[in-house]
């Protein structure tokens, strides 16, 4: 019963012009809110548009103007993380909000495979978007390389070392990690370890660096474990390993709240109390932090603002404004709760 209801030919500017008895040029000017179009013409055109049911053909417009009024947001994450990471969603929404205000369309592209990578690279070159925001790029991310190569205006959320010259917006992961670790130390802990994660990304490696800063001479690399993902599972495995290595551990900095949550569960099962026997702190101030018992002391990062700021920057770039500073750092805030 195949009845592929043929879509009717769409009305064009030409049809509108004919209907309104004016030229295409006049219609185009009116559509773009340009000056020099008489009231009588405007009125006739409006009527004609309604009558023939005209809508702009963006493909044609893009071709003529060489821009699309759309911005890509590129997420490069394995499945599980995309679903779990609370920051990505918030960044997405922040970016969307800001672009929406400027009447730009956010187009979210997901890289889930190598095939996606190459297809998206072609998409970006294809003129579908005027710029891009890249979330959670790894070091030496092929898509990042592609973008710099294409010369597409782009802003990174985060600051991969492999793309030092690209505009970015981020937080001071290292400083924040240092500060929260110091808070932990201030509660009198003597044997403090870290469950690190995502060392292939700047956020992960910087948090470890900050931990190291805070520990100073007391840094003991045997009390550091690392995992690829910021996940609860990483916390579970990490905490188990740490307990094996140091039975007397009394403090843990987890690279994210999800990691901390996993670690806390293991501690509880091992019969240890938090914060009595072991103090623990996290990072992100996500839902996880409030769901823990006791609630988690952590670092709040303004994920939605990161998105907004990235959007603002990419809009500037698209409009030919080279930002004065290559990157912008947004402030974080320490949230002290009951876990340490």
Helix (H, G, I), strand (E, B) or coil at 340: coil
Torsion of CA 297, 301, 304, 308, to 10 degrees: 170
- Subset of residues 245 to 304 that bind a second copy, contact rule: CB under 8 A: 287
| Binding status of residue 40 toward DNA by CB under 7 A | yes
Contact between 253 and 181 (Cβ < 8 Å):
yes
Pick the binder of a second copy from 59, 140, 269, 273 (CB under 8 A).
59
| Binding status of residue 118 toward DNA by CB under 7 A | no
Q: Which residues lie closer than 8 Å to 161 by C-beta, 6 or more apart? A: 139, 202
Angle at which helices 13-20 and 39-52 cross, to 10°: 120
Rounded to 5°, angle at Cα 326 from 321 and 330? 110
Helix (H, G, I), strand (E, B) or coil at 128: coil
Q: What does 102 interact with, of a second copy, DNA, none (CB < 5 to 8 A by kind)?
A: none
Q: Which is nearer to a second copy, 93 or 305 (CB)?
A: 93
| Binding status of residue 340 toward a second copy by CB under 8 A | no
Q: Which is nearer to a second copy, 119 or 140 (CB)?
A: 119
Contact between 27 and 54 (Cβ < 8 Å):
no
Q: Which is nearer to a second copy, 116 or 172 (CB)?
A: 116
| Binding status of residue 150 toward DNA by CB under 7 A | no
Q: What does 322 interact with, of DNA, a second copy, none (CB < 5 to 8 A by kind)?
A: a second copy
* Core vs surface per residue 296-313: b (16+ CB within 10 A) or e: bbbbbbbbbbbbbbbbbb
Pick the binder of a second copy from 43, 46, 126, 186 (CB under 8 A).
126
Q: What does 110 interact with, of DNA, a second copy, none (CB < 5 to 8 A by kind)?
A: a second copy
Phi/psi at 118 (nearest 5 deg)?
Answer: -70, -40
DSSP 134-149: EESPPTT-HHHHHHHH
| Binding status of residue 320 toward DNA by CB under 7 A | no
Give the residues lining the site for a second copy (CB under 8 A): 1-5, 7-8, 55-63, 68, 70, 79, 82-84, 86, 89-90, 92-93, 96-97, 100, 103, 105-110, 112-113, 115-116, 119-120, 122-123, 125-128, 151, 287, 320-322, 324
- Residues at the site binding DNA, with contacts judged by CB under 7 A: 9-10, 12-14, 21-26, 28-29, 31-32, 35-38, 40-41, 54-57, 60-61, 63-66
């Amino acid at each position: 019963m195949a009845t592929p209801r043929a879509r009717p030919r769409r009305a064009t500017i030409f049809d509108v012009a004919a209907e309104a008895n004016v030229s295409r040029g006049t219609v185009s000017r009116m559509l773009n809110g340009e000056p020099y179009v008489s009231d009588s013409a405007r009125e006739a055109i409006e009527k004609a548009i309604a009558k023939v049911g005209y809508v702009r053909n963006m493909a044609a417009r893009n071709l003529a103007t060489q821009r699309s009024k759309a911005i890509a947001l590129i997420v490069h994450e394995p499945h599980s993380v995309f679903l779990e990471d609370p920051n990505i969603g918030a960044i997405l929404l922040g970016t969307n909000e800001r672009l929406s205000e400027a009447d730009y369309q956010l187009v979210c592209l997901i890289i889930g495979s190598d095939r996606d990578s190459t297809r998206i690279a072609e998409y970006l070159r294809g003129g579908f978007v005027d710029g891009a925001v890249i979330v959670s790029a790894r070091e030496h991310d092929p898509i990042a390389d592609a973008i710099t190569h294409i010369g597409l205006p782009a802003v990174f959320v985060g600051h991969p070392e492999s793309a030092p010259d690209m505009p970015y917006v981020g937080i001071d992961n290292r400083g924040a990690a240092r500060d929260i670790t110091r808070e932990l130390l201030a509660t009198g802990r003597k044997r403090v370890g870290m469950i690190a994660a995502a060392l292939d990304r700047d956020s992960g490696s910087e948090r470890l660096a900050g931990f190291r800063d805070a520990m100073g001479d007391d840094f003991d690399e045997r009390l550091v474990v690392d995992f690829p993902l910021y996940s609860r599972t990483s916390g579970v495995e990490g905490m188990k390993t740490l307990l094996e290595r140091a039975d007397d551990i009394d403090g843990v900095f987890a690279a994210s709240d999800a990691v901390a949550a996993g670690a806390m569960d293991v501690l509880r099962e091992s019969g240890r109390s938090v914060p009595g026997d072991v103090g623990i702190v996290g990072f992100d101030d996500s839902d996880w932090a409030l769901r823990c018992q006791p609630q988690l002391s952590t670092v709040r990062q303004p994920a939605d603002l990161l998105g907004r700021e990235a959007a603002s920057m990419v809009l500037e770039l698209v409009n030919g404004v080279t930002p004065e500073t290559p990157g912008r750092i947004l402030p974080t805030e320490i949230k002290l709760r009951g876990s340490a």
